[in-house]
Amino acid sequence: MSKGATRRNLLKIATGSIAAGLGLTMKSEPASTAAATQRGHDHKRVSGPLATAIVSFGQWPTDPPLDRNPNLSPLNRNGHQLIPHEVTIKAGGTVTFMIAGAHQVIVYDDGVEPEDIDTTMLIQPAGAPMGPAILIDDPNHRIYRGLDPSVLPLLAIQPPPPSPPGPPPFLVDRVEVVHFPKPGTYLVICGVVFHFVADNMFGFVRVLP
């Protein structure tokens, strides 16, 4: 076989290998996208006035005045409300929960009402395993449960110890953003049982098609 024929054969083999590789890459990309969607990674663009909403999940009062400096979170002064009580977004949008205080965001599926929640199903906070069971643990139709506030990190700057000493100053204020891909009306409650039962700390997210 001549050198020219050998070179032509090698070029054919190399070209075929590259084409096969490109074909494999092009075929695998949609598959990987589908797999990502199955895992909950939806990267579709959502815009417009109903793309997102903000809910104050608890709040700090100003009457009488409250001084939280340097790092104080007097939980006996914290308000237990969702403001606004109901928000409306469209499917694929998000709700940003601005959490102020020691609260836990729990979201239940379309159609669940406050009276459907079993408030006898309780667990102890993970950060206080020897304490009372105060967190609602009803998994029926629950689609999202947020962070347990008892395991959040301590504030970096410690205030002077009170007299008598109190509990450590946990980082209670935070933000959690929840995605709602399907239309419906979703119940949102505070997982701290006495906030939900005694103070009616709940609200709704209405998701339009």
The reported pLDDT for the residue numbered 66 is 92
111 belongs to a structural domain = yes
71-123 pLDDT, tens digit per residue, is 778 888 999 999 999 999 999 999 999 999 999 999 999 999 999 999 999 99
Hey, what are 99's tokens? 């959490």
Residue 199 sits in the same domain as residue 169: yes
Q: Closest Cα to residue 181, out of 107, 70, 71, 85?
A: 107
Residue 27 sits in the same domain as residue 116: no
Half-sphere exposure of 163 (CA within 13 A, CB side): 0
CA 58 to chain centre: 16
Hey, what are 77's tokens? 């002064």
Classify each residue of 7-43 as buried b or exposed e, where b means 16 or more C-beta atoms within 10 Å of its C-beta. Answer: eeeeeeeeeeeeeeeeeeeeeeeeeeeeeeeeeeeee
The reported pLDDT for the residue numbered 169 is 56
Assign residue 91 the CATH number of its domain. 2.60.40.420
Residue 67 sits in the same domain as residue 120: yes
- Give CA–CA dist 80/62, Å, rounded: 14
Full domain range(s) for residue 165: 53-208
Residue 207 contacts residue 186 (beta carbons within 8 Å): yes
Q: Which long-range contacts (CB under 8 A, 24 or more apart) does 152-157 make?
A: 155/71, 156/71, 157/70, 157/71
Name which of 42-51, 52-61, 116-125 the model is least confident about. Answer: 42-51
Residue 125 sits in the same domain as residue 156: yes
Higher pLDDT, 37 or 185: 185
Residue 12 sits in the same domain as residue 112: no
Q: Which pTM was predicted?
A: 0.75
46 belongs to a structural domain = no
| Residue 30 pLDDT exceeds 90 | no
Residue 142 backbone phi and psi in degrees, to 5: -80, 130
